[in-house]
């Protein structure tokens, strides 16, 4: 039986810059790091008080430098839940004050009554802040 999502792993171009962005912009905190003995990859592990799953960021020494493209096979986007529309509006103000480019808060096209705000991390990975009317 599945009991939830334990962690999510995202490949990034610069693990330190991306980790700093997730900490500064979204309020995550660093909880660990790993470097492979051969130096082929570095990881930073993040947690957020409101999210039970960890977020892992990985930089591959020989990885490409392309920005994220949700039209390729793989991850389309990552959505973080927020309590309600008022919290989405507060996030919009917080992101604007931090100079982070984001969409307006709009009705969700996939869940009636839902609302969403879209932004991108330093690698162009599409992130959503999502208010779902269902608990």
Query: Could you tell me the CA-to-CA distances from 106 to 44, 98, 103 in Å, in that order?
Result: 32, 20, 8
- pLDDT of residue 107 exceeding 70, the answer is yes
Give the global pTM. Answer: 0.92
Pick the CATH number of 72-135 from 3.10.180.10, 3.40.50.620, 3.10.450.50, 3.40.50.2000: 3.10.180.10
pLDDT of residue 104: 97
Asked if CATH classification 3.10.180.10 holds for the domain at 1-61, the reply, yes or no, is yes
Q: Tell me which residue of 46, 54, 64 sits closest to 7, measured CA to CA.
A: 54
Instruction: Give the pLDDT confidence of 9-61 residue by residue, as tens digits.
Output: 999 999 999 999 999 999 999 999 999 999 999 999 999 998 999 999 999 99
Domain residue ranges in the chain = 1-61, 72-135
Assigned token pair, 104: 């307006």
Topology match between the domains 1-61 and 72-135:
yes
Q: What is the DSSP letter of 102?
A: B
> Cα separation of 25 and 42, whole Å?
22
Q: Are 46 and 30 in contact (CB under 8 A)?
A: yes
């Amino acid at each position: 039986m599945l009991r939830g999502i334990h962690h999510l792993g995202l490949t990034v171009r610069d693990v330190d810059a991306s980790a700093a962005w997730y900490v500064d912009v979204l309020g995550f905190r660093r909880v660990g790091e790993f470097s492979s003995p051969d130096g082929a990859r570095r990881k930073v592990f993040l947690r957020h008080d409101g999210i039970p799953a960890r977020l892992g960021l990985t930089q591959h020494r020989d990885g490409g430098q392309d920005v994220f493209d949700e039209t390729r096979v793989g991850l389309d986007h990552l959505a973080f839940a927020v309590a309600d529309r008022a919290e989405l509006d507060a996030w919009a103000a917080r992101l604007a004050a931090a100079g982070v480019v984001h969409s307006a808060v709009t009705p969700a096209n996939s869940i009636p009554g839902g609302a969403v705000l879209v932004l991108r991390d330093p690698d162009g990975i599409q992130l959503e802040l999502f208010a779902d009317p269902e608990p």
